[in-house]
Amino acid sequence: MKVLLVVTHPREVSLTHAVKNRFVEALQQNNHEVDILDLDHDGFNPLYSVEDERDWTNPDKVYAPEIRKEMDRIVAADALVFVFPLWWYSVPSLLKGYLDKVWNMGLLKESMSKKVLWICLAGGDEEHLIKYGYKPMITHYLNVAIAGYAGVKESQVEFLYDTLSPSEEYIAGLLDQAYALGQSYN
């Protein structure tokens, strides 16, 4: 299986990137091909311009080369994985810009019937996210409002909780969880 993995975090030495690395390690051990897009370090421009918006409903629109390149990466993949920190109970702005610019009518025309995995690193614990309704809100937003609208056939959200824990043992457990997700991803 060919997986396009999109990661976003400004610090390369971060738990987000460590989770991405463990997940990729497990995928590669299962002989999956992985294409990695690092939104913070690969030069992706998230600003939505007048040209991006022009003729947005036209399914035959000709997209800028940098957007067409990213659309082609999605089309070439069997599955998409997003690894990101939860900021203000949403995706980081770079990921939102990516979704705005790349997941568009032109891509829908070429079929988004892929599976998607969202690996969301949350600073809070699961109890907090449930108590205030954030877990179902975020899950619905990613699985239904984003992936479902785009025609994705299968979308799943996995939360890694308490990512600000000072316990090295706990953080090692989160990395093991990321590895296990990669091992079971088919």
User: pLDDT (tens digit, 9 = 90+) per residue, 120-171?
Assistant: 999 999 999 999 999 999 999 999 999 988 888 899 999 999 999 999 999 9
Q: Which domain holds residue 20?
A: 2-184
- State how many domains the chain has: 1
Q: Which of 156, 159, 185 has its CA nearest to residue 174?
A: 159
Characterise 180 by phi-psi region: left (phi > 0), alpha (psi -120 to 50), beta (else): alpha
36-57 pLDDT, tens digit each:
999 999 999 999 888 888 887 7
- The Cα-based distances of 153 to 67, 130, 184 in angstroms read 23, 26, 18
pTM: 0.94
CATH of the domain at 148: 3.40.50.360
